[in-house]
Amino acid sequence: MAILLVDDHPMLRLGLARLLMQGLEGVAVIEAGSGEAALLKVAEQLPGLVIMDFDLPGISGLETTRRLRQRLPQLRVLFFSEHAQLGLVRQALDAGACGFVSKRAEPEVLLEAARRALCGQAYIEQPLATALAVQAYGGQAADVRLQDLTPREVEIFLMLAKGFSNQMIAQQLCLSSKTVSNYLTTLKSKLQVSSQAEMVHLAIEAGLLQLAA
């Protein structure tokens, strides 16, 4: 099974190729440094999965995905990008991508996304999946205030609502305790709550605790 890596940074492609070949059994990796090169590579050798960056010289990763999916609707495309704004995630999915992982994610997250994509499944990195759900129906289920949270704020909000202490959150997310405290202050302001108990109530009303479990 071949995976096509589309990214304009050769060193990053090298590292990703090693990760994928070590982490996924029976995988061969081919590379392209631009959207145009990706279109040629797919025409020459149909891969089982394309891992695509947004920022490419020439045509963008988004336009490359649209063209690939028009030619080959069955082709699986997974976005792997440093840009994790929810608007871009939605654009990637609308273009036909089967998943999205940010470049800040742990290596195992990308491997899991690739495994699922190769099996025909969709995969969106948490907390992006939760943040998308908040925007999709969180305002109807609970409160439009949730829609103003960033993906990182959603992640910390859910951890707080599930009873994680500031220290536990700092350890899991590799943040300082001060940074987590600052996030907590921002969350209380954005959500207009004064306690962790109110956060729990808001998360339950939105159905987000069950969603993120």
Does pLDDT of 205 surpass 50?
Answer: yes
Predicted local confidence at residue 210, as pLDDT? 52
Range name among 42-56, 101-115, 163-177, 178-192 with the lowest pLDDT average: 163-177
The burial of 67, by beta-carbon neighbours within 10 Å (0-12 exposed, 13-18 middle, 19 or more buried), is given as: middle
> 112-168: per-residue pLDDT in tens?
999 999 998 889 887 787 777 666 654 444 456 776 777 778 878 888 888 889 999
116 and 52 in one domain? yes
Predicted local confidence at residue 87, as pLDDT? 83
83 and 141 in one domain? no
Last-in-domain residue among 68, 94, 124? 124
Last-in-domain residue among 89, 124, 159? 124
CATH number at residue 162: 1.10.10.10
Q: What is d(CA 172, CA 128) in angstroms, rounded to the nearest whole number?
A: 17
Domain residue limits at 118: 2-124
37 and 139 in one domain? no
Counting the structural domains of the chain, the total is 2
109 and 6 in one domain? yes
Q: Which residues is 28 bridged to in the sheet? A: 2
The DSSP call for residue 162 is T
Range name among 60-74, 136-150, 155-169, 190-204 with the lowest pLDDT average: 136-150
